Amino acid sequence: MGNTIKLTVILAILCTFAISSGSFAQQPAEGTAPDAAASTEAAAPVEAQPAAPPVEIKLPTDLFAGDLPNDDGSGVYLKWSVVPGESAETNYVIYLAESPDGPWAEALTQPADAVFMEDHGKYFPGFFWFGKNGREKQVHVAIIQNVPTGEYDKIGRQIHIPQPAGFTVKPNLGPKDDAGEPIDPDVIDVKTGLPKITPILADIQPRKIGTMYIKFTAVRDGVTAIAPEIFQVDAKEQWFTTSKLNAFIFAILFGTTILLFIARARRDPNLFIRRIAGLNAVDEAIGRATEMGKPILYINGLAGLGDLSTLAALNILGRVAGRVANYESSLTVPCRDPIVLTVAQEIVKSAYTDAGRPDAHNPDSVFFLTDDQFSYSAAVAGLMLRDKPAANFFMGFYYAESLILAETGASTGAIQIAGTDAMTQLPFFITTCDYTLIGEELYAASAYLSREPLILGSLKGQDMAKVFMMIVILIGTVLVTFGITFVKDLFTQLG
């Protein structure tokens, strides 16, 4: 009896276990379809996981390759319309080769959703000015420039030529040692401590591309899609940059206007020019120095002769020197730039000769001090404190030393006239000098002092150009307010 009970209990436990196991097996797996869940195969839950979808890369369908416009012949470009659904997860990788059979060198990688044609107005000004027509951010471009396609990069290192599937890649021979073994560019020579491959000058210089073959690929998640076409492009240098067409037209326009007014001044020399107080004070300053028997200090600024403000300062020096010669006063011209020195010496000498006073000219009046900025200021400040000139002229371009010079001059009680187009230094001169020629007045000074009709005519032309600019600014401002950027775009600097 006892055995029977034991057997019954064991059977009951086994049955319960068996029933329980069966019910577990019939529970559908999470995330699987009920049908699949119904499967009793052991591997069913694993196999039922959906397989990762194959990486689908959409390539642009309207790829176009061409010679890069407005360049020196070192670039080519590819353009294509925006691909629907493009994202930064896809990278476009562009390869270059000198032959359609390769070897291909990776030239450029850019995200699929970046770089648009209007980002490169320098090369595509027509698109920027006239071609957008609501196509902003619709046309992508890839610009490939100065990419060496040989076996070395710009610093002479062996270039890595990637070999994506579908490419026929020629072996990259690379540099070799005397035994014909390839040299690893990263290997350092133990004797010299330098890389074994020394950059070669020819490789450092960007090369002209010439005829190039371009292959376009797209890469996402390690999968590469290759455009079927291989583009052949001839890179040529251009002789006119259309990106500066606006600057060219306005330069010609303004230049012609100025010449027309000069021609007009030849016929009618009675031109009215507004009074410039600082220039009217030139005679007063020279006269005062003459009366006091003290010298006149003239500084041409700290820029070189390549700076137009220095040329303007030298022009004024000629006029001032002529008047100093007439007044029989003395002039001191300390120079910072050696070339400015030689030109200033010649100008002062000629001014004395033209004034009929060559005998009064002192060759030592124009001299070189130093080309160091603060040494120069210290030396000029010393001159001011020792010689106490009665009039100081600060013309040309100045940097931080402007205040040291002008404030020292003010402390000596000299009458001071400054003229500069250095915007940051203007407040210092206005504060410390008696008269300041602001910006364009510096350039007008020579014309104003000479009263030559031809030169005054150029000022009239300049004024007309200014009127034109004011009208354009007014129209442009109104249009931009209403979202029309055409006029603003025409005046945008692209190149």
Task: Give the footprint of another protein on residues 398-457 (CB under 8 A).
Answer: 400, 403-404, 407-408, 421, 423, 426-428, 430-432, 438-440, 442-444, 446-447, 450, 452, 454-455
- Choose, by CB under 8 A, the member of 367, 475, 491, 492 that binds another protein: 367
What contacts 177, CB < 8 A, 6 or more positions away? 183, 196
Within 38-77, the residues that bind another protein by CB under 8 A are: 70-73
Long-range CB pairs of 408-411 (<8 Å, 24+ gap) are: 408/380, 408/381, 408/384, 409/297, 409/384, 409/433
Residue closer to another protein (CB basis): 60 or 409: 409
Least spacing, CB of residue 174 vs another protein, in Å: 29
Least spacing, CB of residue 369 vs another protein, in Å: 7
Examine residue 144 and tell whether it contacts another protein (CB under 8 A).
no
Residues in the chain: 495
Q: What region does 319 belong to: left with phi over 0, alpha with psi -120 to 50, or beta? A: alpha
Please tell me the count of residues contacting another protein according to CB under 8 A: 87
Within 173-212, the residues that bind another protein by CB under 8 A are: 208
Least spacing, CB of residue 226 vs another protein, in Å: 33
Residue closer to another protein (CB basis): 95 or 129: 129
- In angstroms, what is the C-alpha Rg of the chain? 39
Residue closer to another protein (CB basis): 137 or 208: 208
Residue closer to another protein (CB basis): 239 or 482: 239
Binding track over 267-306 against another protein, x by CB under 8 A? ---------------------------------------x
**Residue span binding another protein (CB under 8 A) among the ranges 36-44, 104-112, 125-133, 236-244:** 236-244
> Which residues are 463's β-sheet partners?
none
Per DSSP, the residues of 336-386 read SSHHHHHHHHHHHHHHHHHTT-GGG--GGGEEE--SSHHHHHHHHHHHHHH
Q: CA-to-CA distance for 123 and 145, rounded, in angstroms? A: 12
Cβ count near 3 (within 10 Å) = 7
Least spacing, CB of residue 209 vs another protein, in Å: 12
Examine residue 461 and tell whether it contacts another protein (CB under 8 A).
yes
Within 322-341, the residues that bind another protein by CB under 8 A are: 322, 335, 338-339, 341
Examine residue 374 and tell whether it contacts another protein (CB under 8 A).
yes
- Choose, by CB under 8 A, the member of 67, 81, 368, 487 that binds another protein: 368
**Residue span binding another protein (CB under 8 A) among the ranges 104-112, 214-222, 282-290, 312-320:** 312-320
Residue closer to another protein (CB basis): 212 or 335: 335
Within 245-264, the residues that bind another protein by CB under 8 A are: 247-248, 251, 254-255, 258-259, 262
- Choose, by CB under 8 A, the member of 90, 149, 217, 241 that binds another protein: 241
Main-chain dihedrals φ then ψ at residue 213, nearest 5 degrees: -115, 135
Residue closer to another protein (CB basis): 63 or 276: 276
> Which residues are 297's β-sheet partners?
332, 392
Residue closer to another protein (CB basis): 197 or 456: 456
Residue closer to another protein (CB basis): 219 or 447: 447
Least spacing, CB of residue 142 vs another protein, in Å: 20
Q: CA-to-CA distance for 316 and 345, rounded, in angstroms? A: 14
Least spacing, CB of residue 342 vs another protein, in Å: 6
b/e sequence 54-82, b meaning 16+ C-beta within 10 Å: eeebebbeebebebbbbbeebbbbbbbee
Q: CA-to-CA distance for 317 and 345, rounded, in angstroms? A: 10
CB 177 within 8 A of CB 171: no
Q: CA-to-CA distance for 183 and 194, rounded, in angstroms? A: 13
Residue closer to another protein (CB basis): 324 or 447: 447
Q: CA-to-CA distance for 390 and 296, rounded, in angstroms? A: 6
